[in-house]
């Protein structure tokens, strides 16, 4: 691998969970970093302490540490992950009310260090909107150089109990967890519990300081509490989910927390949360619990009574709140999703190039076979042969684009090769030939038997070694966004065709010597204009639509929720979802879950199944939509824009190369159903705006995404590479 290597540093280095040093760590920040380091290593990255990493490699600075001068030396990209600052007013209020915590002179020095890090870092990750508002008093970062990324957990490790556990002995279980500091942490918990109609069982997890220990000992000395309170002490990380599953409600009494890990962990285990409104905790909890204001001052009577009422409300609707808690974590705190966002902030792809294990094993085998295999020469016949490989050739954006391209290039004989699923679209036989080669040796044999001089690959790492072993003279890759482009090793490729311009800088950092061309996917506008329109909705209904697979990353649940909000306002809107579950290995079935969510919105959401040709259905839309967490430039946006429809999309991947916010559509933050609903509402309520933006969308496709231009560029590439 040439160029920037697949490694980065973390400072300070997080202690390993449950090691002796773990007890001396600084709590939540170290926990999150340890999880991130583990997740990044699973993706093939070498993650090291700062002192052990070469100068050019990026560094993730976690909160703050010693030796900042060496980190900010100008030779590396530095991403600063910051929680918050020491707020003098917070400590003064707590000290006045409880006398156990005070603002120290050293906090001024630490706040100064935080200010300098905010100024010098190339990129800043805030843990909550609340945190950013406070830190803006130290230094306001310029737009585009920061992002809000909350803490996260592995959702498979932290998951709800298979069945909702019965209330123990007729009593609910409320709990608290974390590093327990200061009298209010447990004093408020016991006060809230005493206000409930039935005294609950209380489960306490974590280390206690002296103040909390005294509150705890006083409480358990009361016979009314003695048999109802359990302090489990510090709990090993792999045992935490089991303890959370014992709880009916987590009562997090800390005001001013930026983004507590314990709340994320509880939500992932399906445990609703009651907390103070002050801090970033309320953002984490959302509808999955109750956030209570404290108008009378720190931990006053109004807060305590409000939290007690919040717990009552949660326990009265526990089944619903449990579902909301898990869904809140899935939407916002999925370690798999947020790891990619952390890596992107570091300037790195979601997976380390060349990290695929199967590919690493097959690479030397391919080299040996290549040395012993004659190169394939040009086969007889009038048309050069080109093999196009995908996981499968059913319904999907990439397949649709390649079918359009093959139809427009009759001078070549296209072989559509599926590497996983033999079922395929009828267009494979209509515009070429189809074969399934679900393994290294099957693909090698197929390419040799058919004497294919040019293979175009896509995303499947081992396929490049099979093509190399078959003696194929020219091997190229067509790639989409950053996620797919970095899965394929490129040092043996003759060319990479990127469907987004934003992908190229990423690739050049790792493979600077490989030639690249950017050719956007497109749609034949004349053909689209000639297609019929399929629309079967009541007059006056505004149709929001998507044609795509129901993959997990598409996050169609956000779109369903956004449209559902508009329907509940009485707006004449309907969401049409055309597609089906992905059948690729390891893909999570989503349709059943999406239908269950949509059932709560009546006829505002309609599933119409997979369609062979998305254009007639798309022409029946009024608005195209994309709610994905990761994309290149999706066909599900190109198609409605080519049909003259405005679009609303999450601001992810390279979508901004297609959608200009406020001109031909709207862009919203990923994972924000409220913002998505707001953008859709503007278009639903204003037909003139829909018409204006739809016309602009059409012009974008006609100019920047010209089908004829794309076809001619592909033709030139294919002719050059098959002229053996």
SS3 193: helix
CA-angle at 80, arms to 74 and 83, nearest 5°? 160
Residue 20 — pLDDT band, cuts 50, 70, 90?
very low
- 138-154 b/e with 16+ CB inside 10 Å = b? beebeeeebbbbbbbbb
DSSP secondary structure letter of residue 462: H
- Calpha distance 355→351 (Å, rounded): 7
Single out the residue of 125, 149, 154 nearest to residue 39, CA to CA. Answer: 154
The pLDDT value recorded for residue 3 is: 42
Q: Cα dihedral sign for 96, 180, 176, 215?
A: negative
Listed in sequence order, the residues at least 6 apart from 573 whose beta carbon sits closer than 8 Å to its beta carbon are: 541, 542, 543, 544, 563, 566, 567, 604, 680, 684
What are 369's two structure tokens? 């076979």
Q: Quick one: average pLDDT of 76-90?
A: 86
Residue 406 — pLDDT band, cuts 50, 70, 90?
very high
Residue 425 — pLDDT band, cuts 50, 70, 90?
confident
- Calpha distance 692→660 (Å, rounded): 13
pLDDT in tens, 249-285: 999 999 888 999 999 999 999 999 999 999 999 999 9
Please report which helix (H) or strand (E) contains residue 428, including its range: helix 427-431
- Calpha distance 258→133 (Å, rounded): 11
What are 257's two structure tokens? 């927390």
Asked whether 387 and 447 are in contact (CB, 8 A), the reply is yes
CA distances from 335 to 33, 48, 154, 332, 709 (A): 11, 20, 5, 9, 41
Q: Does domain 357-522+709-722 have CATH number 3.40.50.300?
A: no
Single out the residue of 492, 527, 519 nearest to residue 503, CA to CA. Answer: 519
Q: Quick one: average pLDDT of 21-48?
A: 78
Residue 342 — pLDDT band, cuts 50, 70, 90?
very high
Is the omega angle on the peptide bond into residue 12 within 30 degrees of 0, that is, cis?
yes
Asked whether 589 and 581 are in contact (CB, 8 A), the reply is yes
Asked whether 255 and 296 are in contact (CB, 8 A), the reply is no
The pLDDT value recorded for residue 99 is: 64
Spatial strand order of the sheet with 289-292 comes to 229-233, 201-205, 173-177, 249-251, 273-276, 289-292
- Calpha distance 314→275 (Å, rounded): 12
DSSP secondary structure letter of residue 657: G
Is residue 16 over pLDDT 70? no
Single out the residue of 369, 379, 538, 391 nearest to residue 461, CA to CA. Answer: 391
CA distances from 258 to 127, 143, 146, 279, 653 (A): 6, 21, 16, 6, 27
DSSP assignments along 376-405, one per residue: PPPPSSSS-EEEEEES-BSSSHHHHHHHHH
Residue 287 — pLDDT band, cuts 50, 70, 90?
very high
In angstroms and rounded to an integer, the radius of gyration of the C-alpha atoms of the chain is 28
| Tokens 């409104």, residue located | 277
Highest mean pLDDT among 3-7, 52-56, 287-291: 287-291
Please report which helix (H) or strand (E) contains residue 496, including its range: strand 495-498
Distance of CA 599 to the CA centre of its chain: 25
Q: Cα dihedral sign for 29, 34, 39, 41?
A: positive
SS3 109: helix
pLDDT in tens, 608-629: 998 888 999 999 999 999 999 8
Residue 1 — pLDDT band, cuts 50, 70, 90?
very low
Asked whether 425 and 350 are in contact (CB, 8 A), the reply is no
207 exposure class (CB count in 10 Å sphere: 0-12, 13-18, 19+): middle
Same fold flag, 7-150+339-345 and 527-703: yes
Domain ranges for the chain: 7-150+339-345, 168-332, 357-522+709-722, 527-703
- 162-190 b/e with 16+ CB inside 10 Å = b? eeeeeeeeeebbbbbbbbbbbbbbbbbbb
Asked whether 116 and 138 are in contact (CB, 8 A), the reply is no
- Calpha distance 303→256 (Å, rounded): 14
CA-angle at 722, arms to 718 and 724, nearest 5°? 155
The pLDDT value recorded for residue 482 is: 72
- Calpha distance 211→595 (Å, rounded): 50
Listed in sequence order, the residues at least 6 apart from 410 whose beta carbon sits closer than 8 Å to its beta carbon are: none
When mean pLDDT is compared across 164-173, 278-287, 339-348, 382-391, the lowest value belongs to: 164-173
Q: Quick one: average pLDDT of 118-130?
A: 94
DSSP secondary structure letter of residue 426: T
Q: What is the largest CA-CA distance in the chain?
A: 94
- Calpha distance 628→512 (Å, rounded): 30
Give me the torsion for CA of 616, 618, 621, 627, rounded to 10°.
160
When mean pLDDT is compared across 87-101, 199-213, 684-698, the lowest value belongs to: 87-101
By percentage, how much of the chain surpasses pLDDT 70? 94
Q: Does domain 168-332 have CATH number 3.40.50.2300?
A: no
What are 446's two structure tokens? 């197929």
What are 630's two structure tokens? 């990761």
- Calpha distance 680→574 (Å, rounded): 11
CA distances from 412 to 2, 67, 375, 430 (A): 34, 61, 20, 13
As a whole number, the mean pLDDT across the chain is 88
SS3 174: strand
Residues counted in the chain: 724
Residue 94 — pLDDT band, cuts 50, 70, 90?
low
- Calpha distance 291→283 (Å, rounded): 9
- Domain spanning 527-703 has what CATH number? 3.40.50.2000
pLDDT in tens, 559-572: 999 999 999 999 99
The pLDDT value recorded for residue 357 is: 74
pLDDT in tens, 583-595: 776 677 889 989 9
The CATH class given to the 7-150+339-345 domain equals alpha beta
């Amino acid at each position: 691998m040439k160029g920037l290597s697949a490694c980065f540093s973390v400072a300070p280095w997080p202690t390993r969970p449950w090691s002796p040093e773990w007890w001396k760590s600084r709590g939540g920040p170290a926990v999150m970093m340890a999880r991130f380091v583990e997740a990044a290593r699973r993706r093939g990255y070498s993650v090291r302490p700062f002192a052990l990493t070469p100068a050019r490699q990026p560094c993730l600075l976690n909160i703050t540490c010693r030796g900042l001068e060496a980190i900010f030396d100008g030779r590396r990209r530095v991403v600063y992950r910051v929680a918050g600052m020491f707020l003098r007013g917070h400590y003064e209020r707590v000290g006045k009310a409880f006398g156990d915590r005070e603002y120290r002179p050293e906090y001024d020095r630490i706040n100064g260090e935080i200010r300098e890090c905010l100024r010098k870092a190339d990129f800043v990750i805030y843990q909550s909107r609340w945190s950013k508002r406070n830190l803006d008093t130290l230094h306001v970062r310029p737009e585009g150089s920061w992002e809000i990324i909350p803490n996260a957990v592995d959702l498979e490790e932290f998951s709800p109990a298979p069945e909702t556990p019965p209330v123990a002995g007729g009593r609910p279980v409320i709990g608290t967890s974390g590093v327990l500091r200061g009298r209010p942490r447990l004093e408020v918990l016991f006060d809230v519990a005493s206000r409930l109609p039935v005294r609950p069982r209380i489960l306490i997890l974590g280390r206690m300081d002296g103040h909390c220990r005294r509150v705890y000992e006083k409480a358990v000395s009361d016979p009314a509490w003695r048999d109802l309170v359990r302090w489990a002490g510090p709990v090993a990380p792999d045992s935490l989910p089991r303890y959370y599953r014992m709880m009916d409600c987590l009562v997090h009494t800390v005001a001013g927390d930026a983004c507590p890990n314990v709340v994320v962990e509880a939500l992932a285990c399906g445990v609703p949360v009651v907390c103070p409104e002050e801090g970033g905790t309320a953002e984490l909890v959302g509808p999955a619990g109750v956030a209570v204001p404290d108008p009378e001052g720190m931990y006053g009577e109004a807060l305590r009574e409000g939290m007690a009422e919040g717990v009552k409300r949660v326990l009265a609707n526990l089944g619903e709140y449990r579902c909301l808690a898990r869904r809140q974590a899935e939407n916002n705190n999925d370690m798999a999703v947020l790891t990619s966002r952390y890596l992107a902030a570091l300037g790195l792809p979601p997976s380390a190039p060349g990290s695929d294990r199967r590919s690493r094993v097959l690479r030397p085998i391919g080299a040996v076979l290549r040395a012993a295999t004659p190169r394939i020469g040009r086969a007889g016949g009038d048309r050069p042969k080109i093999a196009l490989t995908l996981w499968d050739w059913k319904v999907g954006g990439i397949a649709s684009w390649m079918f359009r391209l093959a139809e427009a290039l009759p001078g070549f004989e296209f072989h559509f090769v599926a590497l996983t699923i033999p079922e395929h679209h009828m267009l494979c036989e209509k515009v070429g030939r189809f074969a399934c080669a679900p393994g290294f040796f099957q693909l090698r044999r197929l390419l040799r038997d058919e004497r294919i001089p040019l293979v175009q690959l896509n995303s499947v790492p081992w396929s490049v070694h099979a093509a190399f072993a078959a003696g194929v003279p020219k091997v190229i890759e067509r790639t989409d966004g950053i996620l797919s482009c970095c899965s394929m090793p490129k040092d043996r490729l003759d060319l990479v065709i990127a469907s987004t311009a934003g992908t190229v800088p990423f690739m050049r950092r790792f493979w600077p010597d490989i030639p690249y061309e950017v050719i956007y996917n497109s749609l034949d506008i004349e053909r689209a204009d000639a297609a019929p329109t399929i629309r079967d909705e009541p007059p006056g209904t505004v149709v929001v639509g998507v044609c795509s697979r129901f993959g997990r990353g598409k996050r169609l649940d956000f779109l369903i929720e956004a449209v559902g909000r508009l329907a509940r306002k009485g707006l004449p809107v309907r969401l049409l979802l055309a597609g089906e579950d992905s059948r690729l290995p390891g893909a999570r079935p989503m349709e059943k879950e999406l239908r269950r969510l949509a059932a709560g919105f009546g006829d505002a959401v309609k599933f119409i199944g997979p369609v062979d040709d998305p254009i007639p259905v798309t022409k029946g839309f009024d608005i195209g939509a994309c709610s994905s967490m990761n994309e290149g430039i999706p066909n599900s946006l190109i198609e409605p824009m080519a049909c003259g429809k405005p679009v609303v999309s999450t601001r992810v991947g390279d979508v901004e190369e297609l959608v200009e916010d406020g001109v031909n559509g709207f862009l919203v933050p990923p994972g924000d159903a409220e913002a998505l609903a707001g953008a859709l509402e503007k278009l639903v309520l204003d037909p003139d705006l829909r018409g204006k933006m739809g016309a602009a969308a059409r012009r974008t496709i006609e100019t920047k995404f010209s089908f004829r231009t794309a076809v001619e560029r592909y033709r030139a590439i294919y002719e050059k590479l098959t002229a053996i």
